[in-house]
Amino acid sequence: MKDQIDLLLKDLTKLPQMSNVVVNVLKLVQDPGVSINDLALEISKDPSITASIIKLSNSAYYRASKPIRTVQESLMTLGIQTVKEIVLLSASKTVLNKDLKGYQLESEEMWMHSLIVAELSGKIAIMKKLPIAKDLAFTSGLLHDIGKVILTQFFPMKLFEIREELKNVNTTFTEIERKHFGYDHQEIGSKVLKIWNFPEELTEVVSYHHNPEKSEKYPVLVSIVHIANTIAIVSGIGIDIGGINQELSPFAMEQTGMTDKDLEVIFTHLPEIQKSLNELQTG
């Protein structure tokens, strides 16, 4: 099975496609001297993303101070980092908003789970005043489960076998994935982001969001997404065949400075947060 996956990852025509515009925008925004004109020009190369940016920029979620008619107006009104978020949202929805039958997740559940983890990741970074940009935390949370899309698209029957095995064993979901596939969904997701030439920070988050203590370069960012993902799962948002057997890592709590009181605050506001994301879910 591992050999089959390796062959699959070498055939780019079979993998989900991510717009080149996204990769180029991610590179451009890393330059503090990047101009709004250069970004607007790059984004305009993808008509679908351009239309989505204008639509989402005018949504209640982003609360623009005036009507936005162009990508340039969006950049000037909302700022470069916020538009980067919107670019990732627009492009990722075509990949993540899918039924994951093998994982027993409907498309709406998968997309809402991704949005919740993204939003909570950004909020944790701000709440704890961590040295992580809010847009980076948001993007990392949005993409954390991309590996599940690959596994369910190409190996749904094997996932049904895993689901049955989970009923009779006392082990982690990722361990069973590795037993059957040779990889878990974290490793698969990381390989896909590398193929897409995404930044190293994002690939490390995808690699270790269930095991943040294994992160070597970006433990704080990985820990943020781990906590956000755990909160979402424990709250019943995006539960798949792995169930709610998701333990909160003490390492992640230490890295972020999160406390039980902080978790309580987030859980209290979660219904309100989920409601605020409804427009992004359908946008």
Count of domains observed in the chain: 1
Return d(Cα 147, Cα 160) in angstroms, integer.
17
Q: How does pLDDT run across 184-243, given as a tens digit for each residue?
A: 999 999 999 999 999 999 999 999 999 999 999 999 999 999 999 999 999 988 777 666
Residue range 49-78: average pLDDT?
92
Q: Is the pLDDT of residue 282 over 70?
A: no
Which of 161, 159, 132 is CA-nearest to residue 225? 132
Residue 135: how many other CB atoms lie within 10 Å: 21
Non-local (6+) Cβ contacts of 253 within 8 A are: 223, 227, 259
**The pLDDT value given to residue 108:** 79
Q: Could you tell me which residue, 259 or 13, shows the higher pLDDT? A: 259
Q: How does pLDDT run across 4-26, given as a tens digit for each residue?
A: 888 888 887 788 888 889 989 99
Q: How does pLDDT run across 64-83, given as a tens digit for each residue?
A: 889 999 999 999 999 999 99
Query: Which residue range forms the structural domain that includes residue 108?
Result: 2-282
Q: Is the pLDDT of residue 55 over 80?
A: yes
| Tokens representing residue 84 in the block | 């980067």
**The pLDDT value given to residue 227:** 98
**The pLDDT value given to residue 157:** 80
Burial annotation 183-192 (CB, 10 A radius, 16+ → b, else e):
bbbbbbbbbb
Q: Is the pLDDT of residue 283 over 60?
A: no
The CATH number that applies at residue 22 is: 1.10.3210.10
Q: How does pLDDT run across 114-137, given as a tens digit for each residue?
A: 999 999 999 999 999 999 999 999
| Percent share of the chain, pLDDT over 90 | 57
**The pLDDT value given to residue 210:** 94
Q: What is the mean pLDDT of the chain?
A: 89
